[in-house]
Amino acid sequence: MPAHPERRDFLKLSAAAGSALALGFPLTASAVGGRASRVLVLGGTGFIGPYQVRSLLARGHEVTLFNRGRTNPGLFPELEKLRGDRNGDLESLRGGSWDVVIDNSSSRPDWVSRSAEFLRDSVAFYYYVSSRSAYAGYSTVPMTAAVPSYTYETAGVDRATADITRLPYGLAKAESERAVRRVFPDSYGIFRPGLIIGPDDPTDRFTYWPVRIHRGGEVLSPGDGTDPVQIIDVRDLGDFMALSAGEGHTGIFNLVGPATARPMAELLYGIRAVTTAETTFTWVSREFLAERGVRPYREMPVWMPPTEGREGFARFDLSNEVAHGLTFRSLADTTQATLDFHFSRSPERQAQMRAGLSAEREAEVLREWHASR
């Protein structure tokens, strides 16, 4: 099928810096730089979506939301909202035309394929929010987009009998990426964030640490403090995608940070610097924690020790992303925003953290660790 004419024009436009050509739409300079684009966001009202939308609007982009209208339906009353369902009902998109579509976080390859095919002649660029989990392994140091992503073979899944609606998460993301690249081979953007943190995060996977350190006292800290950490503030993710929509970025981008991995000790000490709590850190070996069922990334959120096969998990080379404009908020900013969000929640929700150790379990492991010493 011939390429969408507006897509061809947009690609030419992107290649010619400062060109005033248009896509058939009245594109103008955005408030911050690049071009103002017409952007369709699939979703837009969950965790990451609102921050993308705010960043898009701040850059002067025109935004349309497509979703079922069930999650936070009162958000962005000023925007055009199209109702439908990724699982089949795309009719409200018919006849529309946009420069960029942002496909947020679907891990169903069939849904992504259906959306991409439906929008083939309606958008110039297809941006898909994937995941660091799409990589088939993390043994490479440094990690880059050249590292292979999962296939059915490397994931150990039989393609002939697999249920595409129930694939392992990493394989589902990788197959979703392939669906986008198949339909938009010259005008795709694949964005692979790591752990997304900051205000409004419902998972508490980073929030655990600011909240725990704010409580004060002796804090069980995993490893020896040297294990690297790379994560991404949801606002930095939104800013980079809004920038990409104006600049016409294409390719694969790893969205973690900072550019130089931060040791776990630096993360925890940096969080403590934002609080006024009297806090001490007791570093407990990963072997001791493993013996007691205290797992990395689960009971000890954020932390992933660089054991064999995971040496590159938090050692990504971000030179390409930084060259394309990826920036990183300070840890102090992220910590304060996260604490403000946490304490804005109901007392019941504050007491029901969804990640990390309970106070009782932490105290128990610390007692055992001191007894063993």
**Per-residue pLDDT tens for 284-309?**
999 999 999 999 999 999 999 999 99
Query: Model confidence over 149-187: pLDDT tens digits?
Result: 999 999 999 999 999 999 999 999 999 999 999 999 999
Name residue 311's amino acid. E
Tell me the per-residue pLDDT of 189-204, one tens digit each, with 9 for 90 and over: 999 999 999 999 999 9
| Contact residues for 370 (Cβ-Cβ < 8 A; gap 6+) | 282
Average pLDDT of 31-56?
88
For residue 146, what are the contacts with CB-CB under 8 A and spacing of at least 6?
A: none
Predicted local distance difference test score (pLDDT) of residue 107: 82
Query: What one-letter code names the amino acid at 230?
Result: Q
Query: Does residue 259 register a pLDDT over 70?
Result: yes
Indicate the pLDDT class of residue 14, thresholds 50, 70 and 90: very low
Kindly report the three-state secondary structure assignment for every residue of the chain.
CCCCHHHHHHHHHHHCCCCCCCCCCCCCECCCCCECCEEEEECCCCCHHHHHHHHHHHCCCEEEEEECCCCCCCCCCCCEEEECECCCECHHHCCCCEEEEEECCCCCHHHHHHHHHHCCCCEEEEEEECCHHHECCCCCCCECCCCCECCCCCCCCCCCCCCHHHCCHHHHHHHHHHHHHHHCCCCEEEEEECCEECCCCCCCCCCHHHHHHHHCEEEEEECCCCCEEEEEEHHHHHHHHHHHHHHCCCEEEEECEEEEEEEHHHHHHHHHCCCCCCEEEEEECHHHHHHCCCCECCCECCCCCCCCCCCCCCCECCHHHHHCCCCCCCHHHHHHHHHHHHHHCCHHHHHCCCCCCCHHHHHHHHHHHHHHC
The residues pairing with 129 across neighbouring beta strands, listed in sequence order, are: 191
Side chain identity at residue 158, one-letter code: D
> Cα separation of 210 and 275, whole Å?
8
**Contact yes or no for 285/365 (Cβ under 8 A):** no
> Is the per-residue pLDDT at 17 higher than 50?
no
At residue 9, does pLDDT exceed 70? no
Beta bridge partners of 179: none
Rounded-to-integer distance, Cα 182 and Cα 332, Å: 41
What percent of the chain lies above the pLDDT cut of 90? 86
Residue 274, token pair as written in the block: 């934002």
What Rg do the C-alpha atoms of the chain give, in angstroms? 22
Residue type, 23: L
Cis? peptide before 142, omega within 30° of 0: yes
Torsions phi, psi for 299 (to 5 deg): -70, -25
State both tokens at 6: 């507006």
Mean pLDDT of the chain: 91
Dihedral pair phi/psi, residue 167, rounded to 5° = -75, 155
Domains annotated for the chain, with CATH where assigned, are: 5-193 (3.40.50.720), 208-230+261-308+330-366 (3.90.25)
Separation of CA 12 from chain center: 29
Q: Within 10 A of 95 (CB to CB), how many other CB atoms are there?
A: 7
Report which of residues 261 and 10 the model is more confident about.
261
pLDDT of residue 10: 45
Cα separation, 293 vs 295, whole angstroms: 6
CA distance 7 to 23: 8
Q: What is the pLDDT of residue 29?
A: 40
Q: Is pLDDT at 254 greater than 50 in this prediction?
A: yes
pLDDT for the residue 28: 39
